[in-house]
Structure 1
Amino acid sequence: MVNLRPWQPGDRPLLDAFNTPEMTAHLVTTESAEELEQRHLRYLKEDLPGRMLVIVDGSEPVGSIGYWEIHGGEKVAWETGWGVLPQHQGHGYARLALEELIGVVRADGRHDEVHAYPSVDNAPSNALCRRAGFVLRGTTPFPFRGGVLLSNDWVLDL
């Protein structure tokens, strides 16, 4: 059974596991230890709109998923992103986590859209967006980790 739980202080090793060439192949580059620690501290904050969550199967962490606000002109929406550890990929964890997260952001009621921006060459994440009912709005390049990430803009009307 897959559940989502809030990010906890002991979850820092997940960031190291996500920071490998295999896991960052669609994300320009890896992050430094200092950048990972800063990310971990952000994930622990509870006073922000949105939240980073750990995907767990029973009690075993298998990945993470989160949601946060993005600002586009006068419109504010949610953005989501996820990652599943390599040894747990292909078992439907990302799909189940995304379904649960969509329920969370719908219930929140603050925004009427959620966006996902997987790299254009990340076939599994793009397929997940399509299967979850997101609509491809276009492709956009944006600065990311010192480079440029070419991403698809998937949007789900809540």
Structure 2
Amino acid sequence: MNDHVSLHPWTADDLPVLERSNTPQMTTFLGGPESEEQLVKRQAKFLRLWKEGEARMFTIRADSEEEAVGSVGYWKTQWAKADVYEAGWSIATRYQGRGFASRALRDCLQHAAILGDRQYVVAFPRVDNAASNSLCKSVGFVFREEEDFEYPKGNPIRVNAWSFDLAALREEHSPNEQQTTL
């Protein structure tokens, strides 16, 4: 099945998307499940950062599914002394293996290219997270190096640093298309 995938701006009704991804299996590479209080704080943070223009978080919808299958987004950060976006994603376990992550991440990068103000998007999957590292490579991120990282804060991990140059995507769009928003 090749479902159409679409991104929808994060709303106050999207806490269940976070809850579906908050399982031991889904958070193996992210320090484990969060408490209900932490999820509520993350939900509020997604909404606040969108309003402030600091991040763009989306739910991922597939035509064949009634509920959102996951989330994807990007936020402002610094890496290698440069202003960049960092990307993150999550596809609920029961929806994995159907190509939703790659299609959603490509759409998210397209959004960042058209509406964003930075040249690069970076991602930092743990070195042992084969699925996320494979996703980065398949979508066109370039491997840069292994790095020390903390996630969650205070939890040292080793990650692969990947970057995606948005310039090529920007060249594909005319100025009129750049006025479009999701």
Counterpart of 2:54? 49
8 A Cα contact 1:28 1:149, kept in partner: no
Structure 1 or 2: larger strand share?
1
1:42-81 to 2 correspondence within 5 Å?
42-45=45-48, 46-58=51-63, 59-72=66-79, 74-81=81-88
Per the alignment, do residues 151 and 110 of structure 1 end up closer, same or farther by CA in structure 2, a change over 3 Å counting? Answer: same
8 A Cα contact 1:2 1:93, kept in partner: yes
SS at match of 1:126: helix
SS at match of 1:21: coil
Counterpart of 2:179? none
Name the aligned partner's letter for residue 42 of structure 2: R
Counterpart of 2:141? 134
8 A Cα contact 1:3 1:55, kept in partner: yes
- Which structure 1 residue ranges, 5 or more long, are not aligned? none
How much has 1:67 moved relative to structure 2? 0.3
8 A Cα contact 1:62 1:85, kept in partner: yes
How much has 1:73 moved relative to structure 2? 6.2
8 A Cα contact 1:117 1:154, kept in partner: yes
Deviations 1:113-140 (A, max 9, x none): 0001111111111111111111111111
Work out which of the two has the higher radius of gyration on C-alpha atoms and give 1 or 2: 2
Count of paired positions: 158
Q: Distance in 2 between matches of 1:7 and 1:64?
A: 9
SS at match of 2:69: strand
RMSD between superposed Cα atoms in Å: 1.4
8 A Cα contact 1:28 1:148, kept in partner: no
How much has 1:31 moved relative to structure 2? 1.4
Name the aligned partner's letter for residue 36 of structure 1: L
1:109-120 to 2 correspondence within 5 Å?
109-120=116-127
TM-score by length of 2: 0.82
Deviations 1:7-54 (A, max 9, x none): 111111121211110000111222122211110001112223221100
Q: Distance in 2 between matches of 1:103 and 1:43?
A: 20
8 A Cα contact 1:136 1:153, kept in partner: yes
Counterpart of 1:31? 34
Q: Distance in 2 between matches of 1:89 and 1:71?
A: 30
Q: Distance in 2 between matches of 1:56 and 1:128?
A: 18
Q: Distance in 1 between matches of 2:140 and 2:41?
A: 33
Q: Distance in 1 between matches of 2:113 and 2:91?
A: 23
**Runs of 4+ in structure 1 displaced over 2 angstroms?**
none
